[in-house]
């Protein structure tokens, strides 16, 4: 079954937050999940270095979307008493890169634990041409939206 990117990240974030909430008796739990969405396909973390080359090769020079789902849970008396789930979307365009450029980037930034095989926050080897929306969201946590919600 195919889910929309917004629904996917919200469900994943909620699952992570609920799992963490089981471990506390009182407090606030925040769960997040980030994906890259390109050409009507969800792109998560690469399975191998070869997969990372394929992903970054497809994304380079092109616009794609980064979705982050956020789940905020309030826990009291070891029970979830309130849940809020939302998402943020950011458009990102990566610079055009040769295979050698991508290999050089991968020597500086480990791609296997990153959705879309890149880290937008990395200053060691900037590969982003343009960001439309929250840069923090594209890095995996839309802090502005979370801060606004928590107020």
Q: Which is the catalytic residue, given 33, 51, 101, 113?
A: 33
Residues for the chain: how many in total? 151
Answer for the pair 108, 151: CB distance below 8 angstroms, yes or no.
Answer: no
Residue 33 bears catalytic tag:
yes
What sign results for the dihedral spanned by CA atoms 113, 118, 121, 126?
A: positive
Alpha-carbon dihedral angle through residues 5, 7, 9, 13, given to the nearest 10 degrees = 180
Gyration radius of the chain over CA positions: 17
Residues forming the active site: 33
């Amino acid at each position: 079954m195919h889910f929309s990117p917004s629904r996917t990240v919200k469900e994943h974030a909620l699952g992570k937050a609920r799992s963490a909430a089981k471990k506390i008796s009182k407090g606030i739990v925040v769960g997040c999940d980030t994906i890259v969405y390109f050409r009507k396909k969800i792109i998560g973390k690469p399975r191998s270095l070869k997969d990372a080359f394929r992903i970054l090769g497809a994304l380079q020079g092109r616009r794609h979307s980064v979705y982050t789902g956020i789940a905020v849970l309030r826990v009291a008396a070891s029970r979830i008493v309130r849940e809020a789930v939302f998402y943020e979307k950011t458009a990102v365009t990566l610079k055009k890169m040769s295979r050698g450029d991508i290999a050089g980037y991968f020597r500086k930034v480990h791609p296997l634990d990153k959705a879309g095989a890149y880290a937008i926050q990395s200053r060691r080897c900037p590969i982003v041409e343009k960001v439309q929306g929250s840069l923090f969201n594209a890095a995996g946590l839309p802090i502005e939206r979370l801060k606004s919600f928590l107020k």
